[in-house]
Structure 1
Amino acid sequence: MAGTTVADDGLVELAFESAARDLGIEPGSAGHAEKLGHVRATMGESKISVFRHLFGDEHLARRANAAFEQAYGELVGAGRVAPVPGAREAIERLRADGRTVVLTTGFARVTQDALLAALGWRDLVPLTLCPADTGGRGRPYPDLVLEAFVRTKAAADVRQVAVVGDTSYDVLSGVRAGAGLVAGVRTGAHGDRKFRAAGATHVLDSVAALPALLMGAR
């Protein structure tokens, strides 16, 4: 969602700084810079997985994740998010064309729900998924894509699934799931080089271009 359908104005990094301070890691320190670099490199991955890697201790990881989710939720509640231009219209157009749209995220369910509420998107799509819905494994594993495929029963073959995201981890999860179309979008964390290296079949300026792409692929 963030970076693909939602413009969050760098809130992930702001929320990370709040979580880091909660664990005594101050901005400007060497440890902070190193950890922030990893957060940037792993945009799209399940956040609890990121914190497990950073802190190497389950208790500290869960504490950092809770602080991150709280900070991000407060920023969302303060009106710091907006739809990527054309994103809602693209989703509505896809649904009007008979396609099933699922929104996935690396955030916890409480944060995903806060985003949906802030945007007024609770009823926009029939299904939203987060790592907790797949037993805790988010991107770059294929689980979120495959869970959407299984739950919606909207396609007979996973090759009929299109996966779109703003990070190389989104692309990699789609490739690993066997999706027929896997597109990176230039509205978020990563760019063309990383998308292509991860196996993207397409690179789009934004998700707003997806309906035209799919209709042309018929």
Structure 2
Amino acid sequence: MAGTTVTDDGLVEAAFTRAVAGQGEDPEPMLPYIRKTMGESKITVFRALFPGDECRAQQVNSAFEKACTELIAEGRCAPLPGAAEAIAMLRDRGLKTVFTTGFSRTTQRAVLDALGWDDLVDLALCPADAGRGRPYPDLVFTALTRLGLDDVRSVAAAGDTSADMLTARRAGARIAAGVLTGAHDEAALRRAGATHVLASVAELPALVADH
């Protein structure tokens, strides 16, 4: 969501910095890893940053969720231009649409509430819904199951991170479209297996229509 359909104006980094500093840690040495793993399940990222210390990882995760909610309430959340319209176009064509995220359900809910997007898509999934988050393929498979669909080759996935692309390709999606409105650049998206690179998700309906 963040960086793909929602503006990525440093929300994740700001929330992480606030959360880690509040736990008495120096966030600066950890920020390169945070940037590298954008899009992945946040608790998984924190477990990697605090190996062998599940209690610490959970504490930081809770603090991160709280910081995200605070920042969203402060206005650090807005739709990317054309995102809602693109989703509406896809639904008008009879396609099912799904939000997936590396955020927790609590943070995802805060984003949807802030934007008034409860009814924008058919389904919204977070890592807890699938068992594993990105870069595993589970979110795609869970979306298919929940929506009663049976062919992953009919899936078009869009995202702004390498983890998004890895998830889509590992699941077998027909389209893994990287968008240049978020965390990773074209080279990183293509290295992770992007089949297409778009300026923004607003271009997704035209791409899907061609395939």
**Which residue number corresponds to residue 153 of structure 1?**
148
Alignment of 1:38-187 (within 5 A): 38-56=33-51, 57-135=53-131, 137-154=132-149, 156-187=150-181
Matched, 1:9 2:5: no
Unpaired segments ≥5 residues, structure 1: 27-31
- SS of residue matched to 1:164: strand
1:123-166 superposed Cα distances (whole Å, 9 cap, x missing partner): 1112100001012x100000001111111124x41111011100
Counterpart amino acid of 1:152? L
Describe the SS at the equivalent of 2:56.
helix
Match of 1:36 in 2: 31
In 2, Cα distance between the equivalents of 1:21 and 1:117?
27
AA aligned to 2:104 is A
Q: What is the CA–CA distance in structure 1 between the aligned matches of 2:25 and 2:37, rounded to whole Å?
A: 19
* Counterpart residue type for residue 125 of structure 2: L
Counterpart of 2:87, as a letter, is I
Identity %: 60
* Structural RMSD (CA): 0.9
How far 1:8 moved relative to its partner?
3.5
TM-score normalised by the chain length of structure 1 = 0.94
Q: Which runs of 4+ in 1 moved over 6 A?
A: none
Count of residues in Structure 1 that have an aligned counterpart in Structure 2: 210
Gaps of 5+ in 2: none
Deviation at 1:80, TM superposition (A): 1.4
Q: Structure 1 residue 78: deviation in Å?
A: 1.7
Distance 2:186 2:37 in 1: 16
Report the Cα offset of residue 33 of structure 1.
Answer: 2.5
Q: Deviations over 1:154-179 (max 9, x none)?
A: 4x411110111000000000000000
CA distance, structure 2, for counterparts of residue 15 and residue 196 of structure 1: 28
- d(CA) in 2 for partners of 1:38 and 1:134? 24
* 1:201-212 aligned within 5 A: 201-212=195-206
Q: Distance in 2 between matches of 1:35 and 1:106?
A: 18
Q: Matched residues in 1 for 2:72 and 2:113: separation?
A: 9
**8 Å contact kept, 2:8–2:182:** no
Cα deviations across residues 34-67 of structure 1 (Å, max 9, x unaligned)?
2111101100000000000001111000000000
